[in-house]
């Protein structure tokens, strides 16, 4: 059994509803259906593509799936919710990124864990810190040491039900 952290992001087709639906799906792959989910945050898009604001969150749960099985399950959920893999850094109905798989470091063609961009992304770090304040990353860095005041200012919490 491994404790994993997954980032959720959406900016199309009722993003709050996309995240609500993804949380229901994640519960089905979590041991005993228990999962911890951060608040939902509105965040401006990172990257040069002009697109709607994102809704972001982070979920944490224990799983018996190995990393590739988990990746397959996450991609299946994305596809069920209408994700089309087209424009790089373009808008999406649902993005589920495996951030952390216990303390493992994974470097496979399909999967890099910890997630390559997580240390710079406020929309990952702020919700992650909300549910795992004292987290130490596999590289031994404290999550808290990565958070800056600008990051905190760049996101705001939104209601998670509509
Ligand atoms: N920007 C924000 N704010 N949130 C995301 O989830 C997100 N996801 C992406 C890119 C396009 C990089 N930008 C994002 O994939």
Does 151 sit in the ligand 1 pocket, CB within 6 Å?
no
Alpha carbon dihedral 101, 107, 112, 115, in 10-degree steps, equals 70
pLDDT band at 158 (very low <50, low <70, confident <90, very high): very high
Q: Which residues are catalytic?
A: 83, 92, 95, 97
Closest alpha carbon to 10 in 50, 42, 54? 54
Nearest CA to ligand 1 atom 5: 9
Does 95 sit in the ligand 1 pocket, CB within 6 Å?
yes
Nearest CA to ligand 1 atom 2: 45
Q: How far apart are CA 113 and CA 105, in angstroms?
A: 5
pTM given for the model = 0.96
Please spell the DSSP secondary structure of 59-74, one letter per residue.
EEEEE-S-HHHHHHHH
Q: How far apart are CA 93 and CA 72, in angstroms?
A: 18
Model confidence over 28-51: pLDDT tens digits?
999 999 999 999 999 999 999 999
> For 2-158, CATH number?
3.30.70.560
State mean pLDDT over 96-112: 97
């Amino acid at each position: 059994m491994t404790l994993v952290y997954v980032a959720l992001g959406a900016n199309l087709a009722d993003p709050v509803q996309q995240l609500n639906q993804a949380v229901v799906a994640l519960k089905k792959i979590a041991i005993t259906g228990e999962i911890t989910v951060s608040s939902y945050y509105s965040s401006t898009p990172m990257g040069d593509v002009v697109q709607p604001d994102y809704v972001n969150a982070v979920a944490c749960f224990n799983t018996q799936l190995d990393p590739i099985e988990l990746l397959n399950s996450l991609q299946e959920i994305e596809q069920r919710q209408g994700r089309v893999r087209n424009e790089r850094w373009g808008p999406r109905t649902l993005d589920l990124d495996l951030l952390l798989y216990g303390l493992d470091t994974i470097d496979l063609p399909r999967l890099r864990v910890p997630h390559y961009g997580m240390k710079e992304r406020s929309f990952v770090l702020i919700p992650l810190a909300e549910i795992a304040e004292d987290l130490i990353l596999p590289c031994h860095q404290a999550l808290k040491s990565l958070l800056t005041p600008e990051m905190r200012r760049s996101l705001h919490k939104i209601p998670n039900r509509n």
